[in-house]
Amino acid sequence: QPCWNEYLVTRIEQNMVVNCTCPISECLAQPTTAFIYSIVSSKEIIAKYEKALLRCYVECCSNLTWCTNPQGCDQILLKDGLGYGAACSKCSWISCFNCNFPEAHYPASCSHMSRMTCAKCSHGFCWRCLKPWRPNHKDYYNCSAMVSKAAWQEKRFQDYNEKCTFHHHAREFARSLRNSISSIREMPKIRNLTFVLDACKVLEQARKVLAYSCVYSYYNQDTESMDIVEQQTESLELLTNAL
């Protein structure tokens, strides 16, 4: 029993307990959950084992996933029917389950969040597989472009990237402001701040849309509808700045 305990504890600590087999190389028998419970006595180790089982179960189920909140959330979500804008019932983080990007990115499409472009030669590639966007993807950039065009592409990318980064930082500021107001709200003799909190939430959402609008505009600059999109984005930005 001590040998089994040491073996199982080591496998659990190394996150290799799921589907582990008997330590005798010729034996392919797998220890059952009941057997592990009877051998391992540490509550801390058992808790790690149960987390490993849960993680394995979620990863094996195609319709289940973890909340993608980068600040940390252990909520399990059902992907069926969630699509682009699924809000976690625990932390309210809005995720996209049509691609691997950690949050909803409207109005930018999932393909926009997957495509990267070299600032020097405009070569397009997929950031997931690092292979050329063509022929297996949807677009193609000619790497033999003239130097002047490459310089223009680089400047254009920098402009959109700076705008996108600014809106993301402004969104973080709005979130920080909302948290500060929430703490003040708990103090005695402070008037109701619900309206201000709601305004901060709207500000966060507007900055998020503006940030991903930069991605959308960068990849759709030549389409006929871009004039209308640019006008709407400019209007939203003016109102957001005023807010």
Per residue in 181-236, pLDDT tens? 888 877 666 667 888 888 999 999 999 999 998 888 888 866 667 778 888 888 89
Task: Output the pLDDT for position 125.
Answer: 64
Task: Output the pLDDT for position 204.
Answer: 92
Task: Output the pLDDT for position 210.
Answer: 92
111 within some domain: no
Is the domain of 198 the same as that of 128? yes
Task: Output the pLDDT for position 39.
Answer: 86
Q: How many CB atoms lie within 10 A of CB 11?
A: 18
109 within some domain: no
Q: How many CB atoms lie within 10 A of CB 109?
A: 19
Is the domain of 72 the same as that of 130? no
Is the domain of 125 the same as that of 96? no
Is the domain of 121 the same as that of 181? yes
Is the domain of 124 the same as that of 179? yes
Q: How far is CA 36 from each of CA 18, 28, 39, 40, rounded to the nearest angstrom? A: 11, 16, 5, 6
Is the domain of 16 the same as that of 69? no
Q: Where in the sequence is the domain holding 65, given as residue range(s)? A: 61-104
Number of domains in the chain: 3
Taking the C-alpha atoms of residue 96 and residue 110, their distance in angstroms, rounded to an integer, is 9
Taking the C-alpha atoms of residue 32 and residue 17, their distance in angstroms, rounded to an integer, is 11
Q: By the 8 A CB rule, do 36 and 29 touch?
A: no
225 within some domain: yes
Q: Report residues of the chain scoring pLDDT below 70.
A: 79-86, 97-102, 106, 110-152, 187-191, 221-224
Is the domain of 94 the same as that of 14? no
Is the domain of 36 the same as that of 142? no
